[in-house]
């Protein structure tokens, strides 16, 4: 049964939604109470009121004494059902319960630690410390980075770029988070020295070459690389960085509605999300001041949704590539999408996500203070 659930998950990631549903259905024939098979069905398409039988069975399974994590997954799925059919009050209650269960498996989010981390980066990575030519740095323009808050549109932009014949998306690579963690004592104090710069440049080029040896550009769409732009620019000063800027409340609410790993503990509480976003905005304001403007392109999510071709052309041009109309057919790519939004990015431009927070305005008080500020 678990193998069938795994098959369903893989088929979904690869965009074969009919095959994914068939695998989940076979798993349910083996075990009618298989919670991940039943919850998996909801992520394969938009649900409608005609799917009421799915909801009834989901509620029954959720009440069978599941572990907190298993029940949380089901509550997120139930929340999506209610959101799809427009019952936003029940959707929010389901998501709220899901996050309460998620918290049981996570360490509390430490707001003070996050603020100190951002303080340290702002102090250590200035226009003086990361400017100029650094010994050991690579002049390669092959790496490109797409960063932003989770659920801000990074997957969509990566899909657009991946659709270009001279570019590929490597998905979310762990290289920079792992490197910064490994060398935290050094890199939190400032840019790497020559030996470490050379080591990081060589190591990252090797990772990209192992995945995609031929394309002119290879995109790393790890959202949290926004924390590491000082290090990345020190090692690859010519690499292009695309920053996705989404309405702050939409971005935070979308995080709250998604089951992330326990390590992303700030996503499980609206007040924590508001704090994290404020620190994210503060850090991005700093990178705008200290990074050369020619290597940073800010893409407004709402602008991309509303003017797809205009922004797609700007993105492709920013990467130094000729325009290719296949970039407008991003949803047809066969790339495996290992992201929370794998169904959405298999569809044409998804406009319903702009201003979605207004459906939940009366439930999301801690996020509303973000409303009157310019999005990060």
Please, what is the end-to-end C-alpha distance for the chain in angstroms?
Answer: 44
Q: Indicate the helix (H) or strand (E) that contains 352.
A: none
What pLDDT, on a 0 to 100 scale, did the predictor assign at position 373?
59
Angle at 12 between CA 7 and CA 17, to 5 degrees: 105
The count of other CB atoms within 10 Å of the CB of residue 252 is 28
Higher pLDDT, 21 or 251: 251
The percent of residues in the chain predicted with pLDDT above 70, rounded, is 93
pTM to 2 decimal places: 0.92
Establish how many alpha carbons lie within 13 A of residue 186's alpha carbon, considering only the half-sphere containing its beta carbon: 12
Tell me if 246 sits within 8 A of 301, measured CB to CB.
yes
Higher confidence at residue 192 or residue 375?
Answer: 192
In angstroms, rounded to a whole number, what is the distance separating the alpha carbons of residues 79 and 77? Answer: 5
Q: What mean pLDDT is reported for the chain? A: 92
Which residues lie below 8 Å from residue 103, measured CB to CB, with a gap of 6+? 265, 268, 269
pLDDT band at 60 (very low <50, low <70, confident <90, very high): very high
- Of 135, 125, 209, residue with least CA distance to 173: 209
Mean pLDDT of 54-81: 95
Is the pLDDT reported for residue 338 higher than 80? Answer: no
pLDDT for 24-36, tens place per residue?
888 887 888 888 9
Q: Where in the chain is the domain with CATH 3.40.50.300?
A: 111-370
The CATH 1.25.40.10 domain(s) of the chain lie at 2-103
| Alpha carbon distance 71, 79 (integer Å) | 12
Tell me the pLDDT tens digit for each residue of 269-297. Answer: 999 999 999 999 999 999 999 999 999 99
CATH of domain 2-103: 1.25.40.10
State the average pLDDT over residues 104-124.
Answer: 97
Among all chains, which residue has been given the structure tokens 């068939």? 22
Kindly report the backbone phi and psi dihedral angles of residue 357, in degrees, each rounded to the nearest multiple of 5, phi listed first.
-60, -25
Three-class SS state of 116: helix
pLDDT tens digits for range 5-21: 788 888 888 888 888 88
Superfamily of domain 111-370: P-loop containing nucleotide triphosphate hydrolases (3.40.50.300)
pLDDT of residue 288: 97
- Is the per-residue pLDDT at 326 higher than 90? yes
**Count of helices and strands (H, E) across the chain:** 17, 5
- pLDDT at position 340 over 80: no
In this predicted model, what pLDDT tens digit does every residue of 150-178 receive, in sequence order?
A: 999 999 999 999 999 999 999 999 999 99
333 versus 38: the higher-pLDDT residue is 38
| pLDDT tens by residue, 346-364 | 556 667 788 999 999 999 9
Residue recorded with tokens 């049964």: 1
CA distance 5 to 214: 35
């Amino acid at each position: 049964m678990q193998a069938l659930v795994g098959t369903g998950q893989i088929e979904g990631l690869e965009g074969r939604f009919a095959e994914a549903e068939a695998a989940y259905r076979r798993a349910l024939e083996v075990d009618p109470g298989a919670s991940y098979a039943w919850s998996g069905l909801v992520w394969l398409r938009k649900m409608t009121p005609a799917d009421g039988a799915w909801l009834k069975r989901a509620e029954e399974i959720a009440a069978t004494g599941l572990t907190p994590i298993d029940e949380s997954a089901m509550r997120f799925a139930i929340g999506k059902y209610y959101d799809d059919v427009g019952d936003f009050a029940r959707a929010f209650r389901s998501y709220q319960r899901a996050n309460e269960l998620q918290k049981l498996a996570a360490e509390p989010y430490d707001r003070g630690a996050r603020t100190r981390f951002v303080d340290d980066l702002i102090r250590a990575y200035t226009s003086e410390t990361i400017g100029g030519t650094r010994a050991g740095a690579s002049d390669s323009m092959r790496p490109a980075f797409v960063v932003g808050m989770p659920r801000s549109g990074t997957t969509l932009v990566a899909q657009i770029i991946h659709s270009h014949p001279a570019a590929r998306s490597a998905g979310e690579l762990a290289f920079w988070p792992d490197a910064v963690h490994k060398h935290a004592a050094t890199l939190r104090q400032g840019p790497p020295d020559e030996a470490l710069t050379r080591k990081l440049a060589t190591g990252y080029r090797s990772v990209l070459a192992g995945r995609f040896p031929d394309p002119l550009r290879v995109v790393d769409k790890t959202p949290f690389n926004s924390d590491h732009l000082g290090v990345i620019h020190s090692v690859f000063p010519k690499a292009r960085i695309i920053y996705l800027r989404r309405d702050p409340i939409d971005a935070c609410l979308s995080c709250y509605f998604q089951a992330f790993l326990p390590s992303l503990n700030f996503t499980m509480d609206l007040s924590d999300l508001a704090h994290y976003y404020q620190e994210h905005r503060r850090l991005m304001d700093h990178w705008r001041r200290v990074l050369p403007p020619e290597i940073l392109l800010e893409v407004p999510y709402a602008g991309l949704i509303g003017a797809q071709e205009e922004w797609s052309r700007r993105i492709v041009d920013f990467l130094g590539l000729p325009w290719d109309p296949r970039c407008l057919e991003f949803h047809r790519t066969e790339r495996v999408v290992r992201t929370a939004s794998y169904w959405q990015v298999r569809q044409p431009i998804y406009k319903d996500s702009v201003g979605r927070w207004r459906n939940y305005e009366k439930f999301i008080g801690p996020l509303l203070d973000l409303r009157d500020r310019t999005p990060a």
